[in-house]
Copies of this chain bind each other. A is one copy, B any other.
């Protein structure tokens, strides 16, 4: 149904593994490698050249690597110079700019926008319309919910800036803003609509604008009388401890 081989463009320097499927109207530019059993759905662009391409006569596309088992949904754009681990899945119309390294088993939701120069660990899940600024980083098992923005400039505009670092297992609620060269520890929970401009330690429940420490997340108790956090005791879908 979807893989009819219509209107492709695949660069002669691209390397596609075994059993890679390309949707209609896909463009695969120079120096892209795609691992076996991957699906690149219709209208995607992989290996999008950076700004220099439009200005420099001697431009060469930096290598782009997408490891085995990827499912990249339609209308997505992945720049040259991006490296993505195994079993990656995306929604539609994601944008990932250059110099971004993403680990294994990650997901990036519809309309999400990664601005480049970003490091993401393993098993991270970005839901829809997440915006990650340049020079930000996520640990492992970080989940970010819709319309969250990470930003790197507390007093804009500024020429040299660094974005937030988010610790392992931390959950970032919808519509939150996390700004500047700050560290959010492991296993934190950030409430919806929070605005954060300072560091927080591991296991913090962080809420408000400006955000403050409400409690230790380990004090949150579910309807079954058990602690809700750390969440790895109660959530398994797609996680390495799921059997």
Q: Are A151 and B192 in contact (CB under 8 A)?
A: yes
CB neighbours (8 Å) of A147 from chain B are 131, 147, 149, 175
Contact A193 B209 (CB under 8 A): yes
A220 within 8 A of B: yes
The answer to whether A215 has its CB under 8 Å from any CB of chain B is: no
Check if A149 sits within 8 Å of B175, measured CB to CB: yes
> Which of chain A's residues 159-180 have a Cβ closer than 8 Å to chain B?
159, 171, 173-175, 177, 179
Number of copies: 3
Name the B residues within 8 Å of A61 (CB-CB).
Answer: 1
Does A74 count as interface, using CB distance less than 8 angstroms? yes
- Nearest residue (CB) in B for A61 is B1
Q: Taking the nearest CB of chain B, how far is it from the CB of A176, in angstroms? A: 8
Closest residue to A193 on the B side, CB-wise? Answer: B195
Smallest CB gap from A143: residue in B? B157
Minimum CB distance partner of A109 in chain B = B113
Q: A9-B24, A149-B175 are in contact. Are A222 and B155 (CB under 8 A)?
A: yes
Residues of B within 8 A of A131 (CB): 128-129, 146-147
Q: A111 at interface (Cβ–Cβ under 8 A)?
A: yes
* Chain B CB within 8 A of A54 CB: yes
Residue of B whose beta carbon sits closest to that of A55:
B71
Contact B7 A11 (CB under 8 A): no
B-chain residues with CB within 8 Å of residue A24 when the two chains form the complex: 9, 27
Binding site for B on A (CB under 8 A): 1-2, 4, 6-7, 9, 11, 24-25, 27, 29-30, 39, 42-43, 45, 48-49, 53-54, 61, 71, 74-75, 77, 91-93, 95, 110-111, 113, 115, 128-129, 131, 143, 145-147, 149, 151, 153, 155-159, 171, 173-175, 177, 179, 189, 191-193, 195, 197, 208-209, 220, 222, 228-229, 231, 234-237
What are the 6 closest A-B residue pairs judged by CB atoms, nearest first? Answer: A177-B192, A193-B195, A157-B235, A149-B174, A131-B146, A175-B177
